[in-house]
Amino acid sequence: MRFFDERMLTLARWVSERYVAPLASVLTRLTPPRVASEEPEPSVGGVEVRGVGSGGVGRAEDFGPVTPAILPDNYRNGHALLAAIGERRAAGFVLRPAPEDEAALAVETVAACLAAGRRAIVLVPEARPVPATAAAVLGVFGDRAVAFLGGDRRARYRTWLEVADGRGDVIVGTRPAVYAPVRDLGLIYVSRESHPAHREDRAPYSHVRDVALQRTRVEGATAVFSALCPSSETASIGLPEVASTSRRWPAVEIVAPGPEGRAPRLVQALRQAGRGFIYSPLRGYGMAQVCRSCGASATCSACGGLLRIEDRVVRCVVCEAEGRCASCGGASFGIRRGGAERIEEWAATVARAKVRRIERPRLPRDGEVLIGGAEVVRDLGPAGLDLVAIVDADLAERSAGLNSRARAVSVWMEAIAWAQPGGRVIVQATRPRDPAIQAVVRGNPARFLEDDRGRRADAGFPVAAPVFRVAGARGLEEHLAGFDPIMLLTSATGDQTVCLLTLAPDRLPRFGRTMRDLAARGEVSRVEAEPHL
């Protein structure tokens, strides 16, 4: 059993066109995998067909206590956002919340939607641990809110059926919930919009941002994209920005990097901090530099990659093979120390609190300083830490990938927010005037996003220009060159050709038709939209 009405079919056709994917594959994304035993028994007159329920939306005051209004008096364009929700018209906004307001603003916008007699979808990037924003919405709206967060196939399908039957005025879920069969949709609220988990890793490779914006256009609803640092793509759309009218951002100190991350000011701060977090983008204890047996530069014997020591074991950072010298096969290396393990080692000798590395996200307890990377920086709610430190910030400039700097700034800002309202923040960087560093100093990424758009354009991948990775047979490059692409990169192995190209948006419809024709003739085997680069 599958559900889609005329509006959802319109949305599915748009997704198929935008991401050059078969309509059938898009339609399968509208629902979780079917579990027939969760479906109702046939009724006397035949099979019961489920659809959206006809029950009305309760009043906002029926959902329990709601946080006092923040938007109207404290946020620029706050009145406009609430007015758009109340007027039932298609609109979109970029919301940059103050750290302490993040969950409360989600609750407030949802309450405004319900007060207008419509339903809402709140999208979060991860299910575990349950983000603080999701927990706040579920807690305030109680039984009228439905959690579509993780679970096994049976649970997910059962929840979807209940939503299709009209249960719940607020659906809180991860990216599949953007297609939730919600009647009278008035709001799609995307939390931490710049998080990479909002992009689908399977065909049709869609992004929640694009689907949410298009669905609100179809439904006559409001889209809100919330993030401390919006993505370059969202910032380029030109939506009105809703931001705090007062500066509510911790003071950020920029210091020169110390050896192994041991800047004197950070050492001093660790001696005083009762609760803290050190963000280290590097895992392990250090990188192998030279083979002690033959003196050659240390590279992996299997693939030529760099070698890292982690938990006292040397492994390749690329293929994870056991570390052996590519020249002589030796296993003893000179190590350049630096990384989370080394920081834990020296920080434990100076901090008055207990120092621990973590791999699963949680906030520090009293008398504890935690060390971790991007994988532990999550929406965990207000933290009020004494100290947040960012080490090895310069690595963001050298990291591979078009979005690496933007992702780094987003993670830095989310971690720094844990120091609000009165904590101390120390960032180790050699270029304090770099737009990425100034974004975290000011708590405003506008200048950085402008710089990032320029860099992307110079690299041949302008923001808002569709990007595709196409695999096929020989001669594929000639077909693609006919679209006069902004960028076209080609690699070939045997009979297989892989092309990466950027198109002007107005060429997308013809590109899609051509790819479908070539696929039917067996000349194209895969089209991946917006690949991670």
Same fold, 6-244 and 252-284+339-456: yes
Measured CA angle at 16 (ends 495, 480), to 5 deg: 35
Which of 108, 34, 30, 31 shows the shortest CA–CA distance to 68?
108
DSSP 63: G
Q: Give the CA distances from residue 241 to residues 79, 97, 141, 190, 210, in Å, rounded to whole numbers and listed in that order.
A: 12, 10, 27, 14, 17
- Please say whether the beta carbons of 63 and 140 come within 8 A: yes
Q: How many CB atoms lie within 10 A of CB 495?
A: 8
Report how far residue 392's alpha carbon sits from residue 302's, in angstroms, rounded to the nearest whole number.
Answer: 28
- Please say whether the beta carbons of 307 and 315 come within 8 A: yes
- Please say whether the beta carbons of 131 and 191 come within 8 A: yes
Within 8 A by CB and 6+ apart from 375, the residues are 359, 361
Question: What tokens were used for 404?
Answer: 């690496």
Q: Domain coordinates of the chain in residue numbers? A: 6-244, 252-284+339-456, 285-337, 467-529
Q: How many CB atoms lie within 10 A of CB 43?
A: 9
Residue type, 404: S
Place of tokens 């916008």: 109
Report how far residue 358's alpha carbon sits from residue 68's, in angstroms, rounded to the nearest whole number.
Answer: 36
Whether the predicted model's global pTM rises above the 0.85 cut: yes
Report how far residue 417's alpha carbon sits from residue 401's, in angstroms, rounded to the nearest whole number.
Answer: 25
Residues paired with 369 in a beta bridge? 276, 355
Question: What tokens were used for 374?
Answer: 């991007």
Report how far residue 472's alpha carbon sits from residue 38's, in angstroms, rounded to the nearest whole number.
Answer: 41
Dihedral of CA atoms 329, 330, 335, 336 in degrees, nearest 10, equals -30
Q: Give the CA distances from residue 102 to residues 83, 124, 520, in Å, rounded to whole numbers and listed in that order.
A: 20, 12, 48
- Buried b vs exposed e over 106-144: b needs ≥16 C-beta within 10 Å? bbbbbbbbbbbbbbbbbbbbbbeebbbbbbbbbebbeeb
Report how far residue 355's alpha carbon sits from residue 352's, in angstroms, rounded to the nearest whole number.
Answer: 9
DSSP 278: E
Place of tokens 């919009």: 193
Asked if the peptide bond before residue 421 counts as cis, ω within 30 degrees of 0, the response is yes
- Please say whether the beta carbons of 124 and 134 come within 8 A: yes
- Classify domain 6-244 by CATH number: 3.40.50.300
Q: Give the CA distances from residue 49 to residues 9, 29, 37, in Å, rounded to whole numbers and listed in that order.
A: 18, 19, 15
DSSP 258: P
- Tell me the Ramachandran region of residue 415: left when phi exceeds 0, alpha when psi lies from -120 to 50, beta otherwise: alpha
Domain 467-529 homologous superfamily, CATH: ACT domain (3.30.70.260)
Domain 252-284+339-456 homologous superfamily, CATH: P-loop containing nucleotide triphosphate hydrolases (3.40.50.300)
pLDDT in tens, the chain (533 residues): 456 788 999 999 999 999 999 998 899 888 887 776 676 655 443 333 333 333 445 444 444 445 568 999 999 999 999 999 998 889 999 999 999 999 999 999 999 999 999 999 999 999 999 999 999 999 999 998 999 998 888 888 888 888 988 889 999 999 999 999 999 999 999 999 999 999 988 888 999 999 999 999 999 999 999 999 999 999 999 999 999 999 889 999 999 998 888 999 999 999 999 999 999 999 999 999 999 999 999 999 999 999 999 988 999 998 999 999 999 999 999 999 999 999 999 999 999 999 999 999 999 999 999 999 999 999 999 899 999 999 999 998 888 788 899 999 999 999 999 998 889 999 999 999 999 999 999 999 999 999 999 999 999 999 989 999 999 998 899 999 999 999 999 998 888 999 999 999 999 999 999 999 999 999 999 999 988 87
For 361-378, the DSSP string reads --PPPTTEEEEE-GGG--
Q: How many CB atoms lie within 10 A of CB 490?
A: 14
